[in-house]
Structure 1
Amino acid sequence: MPCHLNLSHDEKMLTPPVLYWIYLTTDGTDNPRVWIPSEKYEGRVDTLDNNPNTSNKSIRFKNVQWADSGRYLCKLSINTKRDKSFRKKGNETLLMVYDTMTFNPTGHNDSLLSCEVNVTRDPGLVLSIFHDGFKLQPVGSAPGKGGTALPFVTLSETVSPRSKGEYECQLHLNKDLLTKSIFRYNLPEPNVKLFPEPWFLYTALLLVPFVILLGLISATLMCRCLSTYGFN
């Protein structure tokens, strides 16, 4: 999560700035300390730059959990030669947690494409399916199914593809694209009714030349016999 210290060129720090990151609770009380880590975040948060004098005060989460979703705030305690000691706040950072997106034909109907993803509870999260740059009208959707006991909700969209090509499922937070998945769709083969092979007809057709040849041989032999009998 980003946090950068910007000071004017004429400000000289007397001591390295002290970094604080806190998690902003919804009621504004008892905000857990993320950095320096409290017990909840112990071993799961690192700074991107370990140099205490650097201006980059960003942090990185490891082993992200559903409960980590929410708003975070960066604070710095600074001691400069000109302005002495003061504190500076950064912008709030929103952390949204989401699971791996699945996007493929439905299990019971290959003519339908279904996209599904588990996300943290936020009304700004929207799932959409696009083809050739156009948003498709869903034939089925779930804006946020999930029990209240679960730390996430499931968003899903189902569309009926009209032509082959690439279909793209996108997860947006308001206007920002968070993640997407692409599926290349080929039209299902039409149902072709297969009839049994006419083996008897094939056999009869193969026997016709032999029957004709046998008839010709028989006729030739008979003619020779008659000629011989007539000569005698």
Structure 2
Amino acid sequence: MLKIILSVVAEWGWTQWMFLHLLVAGTCSLVTVHQPPVLTTALGHDVVMPCQLNLSHDDKMVTPPVLYWVYLSEDTENARVWTPSEKYKERVHLLDNDLYSSNKSISLKNVQWADSGKYLCKVSVATKRDERFRRKGNETLLMVYDTMMFNLIGHNASLLSCEVNVTRDPGFVLSLLHDGHKPQSVDSAAGDYVTALPYVTLTQNISVWGEGKYECQLHLNEDLITKSTFHYRPPVAGEPRDAEKNASSVSEPGAVVFPEPWLLYVALLLVPSTVLLGLVTALLMRRS
């Protein structure tokens, strides 16, 4: 095996060999912190904010890692989320209390509009391969939305209105459907911006022109965040025109996590090892 390595050095030269050695060695000792880029949650709900510490298989922590979660503020100093500052006291908890756990995710309870914004996870760790150092994730943007209101308006109950308050972001969009299809006539409002408020109000209206299921959906870019369904039955002749008796509305709040491309990370880590293995195999075939 030593002769093969020396042959590689002779054919590639010392510069290329050192580059390959450092590339592979860096892969073996890689320590990373991963966060999802975006999280959404309903106002007043709890949300899990993932943070994962990853070490290479042949490395090991020698001391418990020290975790830092911070809220990144543009106007004031960054607020400490973990360990909790006064703003987050009794609202933030670790998901895994094992000191040596690589899961550094936290749970934020009773999310408010003021919690919207970017969060950063940082971990200080000492491993057998390296001395103590700090790694940080790529930030997580937390976006909040309120309960969606979807109901009949007007004296003749001929108009459906959908309204929801959301974190200020152009990616939030409302869409209306009737029996799974987009109607032709929809009145929409991009958002009611009030400087003093930490949210914007999105509104869309649709004329009720037939029996069936009407649905209002809140999207963030291409992802469905929450929806509300309204079932309408026109009044039968002789019945009183009571909108409440002829309709029902159901909201379906939820939370969406935009995951990290884990398969891409794995593929990038495997590339240097695959190159080295292919090189050694080629040299062995040439010698045989």
Query: How high is the TM-score relative to the length of structure 1?
Result: 0.75
2:211 to 157, 161, 164: 164
Q: Measure, in 2, the Cα distance between the counterparts of 1:140 and 1:129.
A: 10
Contact 1:138 1:157 (C-alpha < 8 Å) held by counterparts: no
Cα drift, residue 152 of structure 1: 1.5
1:144 aligns with 2:178: no
CA contact (8 A) 1:116 1:154 kept: yes
The aligned amino acid for 1:68 is D
- How high is the sequence identity, in percent, across the aligned residues? 68
Whether the 8 Å contact between 1:110 and 1:188 is mirrored in structure 2 is: no
Q: Which of 95, 115, 122 in structure 2 is aligned with 1:75? A: 122
Structure 1 range deviating more: 130-139 or 144-153: 130-139
Residue matched to 1:200: none
- Counterpart among 29, 51, 70 of residue 3 in structure 1: 51
Q: Deviations over 1:190-229 (max 9, x none)?
A: 689xxxxxxxxxxxxxxxxxxxxxxxxxxxxxxxxxxxxx
Conserved? CA contact 1:2–1:57, under 8 Å: yes
Structure 1 position 25, deviation (Å): 2.1
CA distance in 1, matches of 2:156, 2:87: 45
Count of matched residue positions in the alignment of Structure 1 and Structure 2: 191
- Give the one of 40, 64, 67 matched to 1:16: 64
Deviation at 1:119, TM superposition (A): 1.2
1:66 aligns with 2:118: no
Q: Deviations over 1:102-126 (max 9, x none)?
A: 1111143412111111112111111
The letter of the residue matching 1:165 is G
Task: Report deviation, 1:169.
Answer: 0.9
1:129-167, CA deviations, whole angstroms, 9 ceiling, x for partnerless residues?
122332334532222114211122211111113332222
Check conservation: 1:97, 1:119, Cα contact below 8 A.
Answer: yes
Measured at CA, do residues 64 and 161 of structure 1 come closer, stay the same or move farther in structure 2, by a change above 3 Å?
same
- Aligned-partner Cα distance in 2 for 1:76–1:104: 47
Give the match's secondary structure for 1:96.
strand
Relative contact order (C-alpha < 8 Å, sep 6+): which is higher?
2
- Is 1:137–1:159's contact at 8 Å kept on the other side of the alignment? no
Q: Structure 1 or 2: larger helix share?
A: 2
1:36 correspondence with 2:83: yes
Q: Which runs of 5+ in 2 are unaligned?
A: 1-48, 240-288
> C-alpha separation between the residues in 1 aligned to 2:176 and 2:229?
10
Secondary structure of the equivalent of 2:74?
A: coil
- How far 1:2 sits from its partner (Å)? 0.9
Please, which runs of 5 or more residues in structure 1 have no aligned partner? 193-232
Per-residue displacement from partner, 1:63-92 (whole Å, max 9, x unpaired)? Answer: 211111011111111110102212112232
Partner residue in 1 for 2:73: 25
**Residues 1-232 of structure 1 correspond to what in structure 2 (within 5 A)?**
1-26=49-74, 30-137=77-184, 139-189=186-236
| Larger-Rg structure | 1
The CA distance in 2 between the partners of 1:92 and 1:164, in whole Å, is 46
**Distance apart, 1:187 and its partner CA:** 2.6
Distance 2:121 2:102 in 1: 13
